[in-house]
């Protein structure tokens, strides 16, 4: 049974982790940079320390996995460019500033920081959450498809918990519409291994120890006005309806699979 909130690693992993940390501190990995340390990190970033499988998140903004205009008719190119290159880039920059000021060990996955976010500043919370949420958001979309829907075990899990895919979409959309002000709607899996939907304020997410909902995020929808205002103005519901056409269900399924590994 998965335990997403457990922070104590099993003895073997803990000592391995200490070895890696000591090695990095000792300068062995510093000369070759973070990229060389990343595969080691991913190999021990298991669900025991929140960052499941290959989904450990780094502190740098990753390239957008498609062109700015790739999601046109759902998300316009201008919104995409501003959102990625201005809003999200600023979260990444401010996160790096907070990380330097608060002496965060950047060889740890960002997920570890988020799981202990109550110990850090509001700047870390806002920008660490902002960076994580957007990195995941870009990956969770792809160009528009007809009849876009999950399949396999993910669909089974959704139907088991929410009766039908349509009913799931309705309930998720209700959380997205009713999140007052700025925030995110989420599909996540909790520590009882149940998939849930909910929402968080500002840039919080279910990984955070202070979030209203807690678990491993599978899919998140940005409902800040900057995500939709140019095309949809005040019509958040229309943005949500259109967004279902570009959800990358393969990515969501991979996150679920990764969590269960």
Which residues does 60 contact at the CB level (< 8 Å), separation at least 6?
92
Contact track, Mn ion, 109-148, x by CB under 5 A: ----------------------------------------
User: b/e map of 106-116 (b: 16 or more CB within 10 Å)?
Assistant: bbbbbbbbbbe
**In the complex, minimum distance from the CB of residue 184 to Mn ion, in angstroms, rounded to a whole number:** 9
Q: Which window, 10-18, 193-201, 214-222, 235-243, contacts Mn ion (CB under 5 A)?
A: 214-222
Q: Between 112 and 222, whose beta carbon lies closer to Mn ion?
A: 222
User: For Mn ion, which stretch binds (CB under 5 A), given 39-47, 59-67, 105-113, 222-230?
Assistant: 222-230
CA pair distance 161, 155, nearest whole angstrom: 10
For 80-140, give the secondary structure using H, E and C. HHHHHHHHHHHHHHHHHHHHHHCCCCCCCCHHHHHHCHHHCCHHHHHHHHHHHHHHHHHHC
Measured from the CB of residue 212, what is the shortest distance to Mn ion in angstroms? 19
Q: What CA–CA distance (Å, rounded) separates 251 from 220?
A: 12
Q: Are 92 and 131 spatial neighbours (Cβ–Cβ below 8 Å)?
A: yes
Nearer to Mn ion, 84 or 165 (CB): 84
Residues in a beta bridge with 217: 188
* CB-based closest residue to Mn ion: 222
Using the minimum distance from each CB to Mn ion, give the nearer residue, 204 or 222: 222
Total binding residues toward Mn ion, as defined by CB under 5 A:
3
Residue selected from 222, 242, 243, 252 as contacting Mn ion according to rule CB under 5 A? 222
Which chain residues interact with Mn ion by CB under 5 A? Answer: 222, 224, 227
């Amino acid at each position: 049974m998965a335990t997403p909130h457990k922070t104590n690693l099993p003895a073997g992993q803990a000592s391995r982790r200490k070895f890696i940390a000591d090695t990095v501190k000792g300068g062995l990995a510093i000369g070759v940079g973070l990229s060389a340390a990343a595969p080691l990190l991913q190999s021990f970033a298991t669900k025991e320390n929140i960052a499941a499988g290959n989904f450990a998140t780094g502190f740098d903004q990753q390239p957008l996995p498609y062109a700015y205009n790739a999601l046109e008719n759902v998300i316009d190119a201008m919104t995409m460019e501003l959102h990625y290159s201005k809003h999200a880039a600023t979260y990444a920059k401010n996160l790096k500033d907070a990380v330097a000021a608060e002496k965060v060990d950047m060889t740890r996955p960002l997920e570890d920081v988020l799981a202990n976010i109550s110990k850090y500043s509001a700047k870390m919370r806002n920008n660490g959450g902002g960076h994580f949420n957007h990195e995941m958001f870009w990956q969770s979309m792809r160009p528009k498809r007809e009849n876009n829907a999950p399949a396999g075990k993910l669909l089974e899990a959704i139907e088991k918990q929410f009766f039908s895919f349509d009913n799931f979409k309705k309930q998720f959309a209700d959380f997205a519409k009713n999140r007052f002000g700025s925030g995110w709607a989420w599909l996540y899996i909790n520590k009882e291994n149940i998939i849930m939907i909910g929402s968080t304020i500002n840039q919080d997410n279910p990984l955070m120890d202070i979030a209203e909902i807690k678990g491993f995020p599978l899919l998140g929808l940005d409902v800040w006005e900057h995500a939709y205002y140019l095309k949809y103005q005040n019509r958040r519901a229309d943005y949500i309806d259109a967004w279902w056409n570009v959800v990358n269900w393969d990515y969501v399924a991979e996150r679920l699979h990764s969590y269960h590994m």
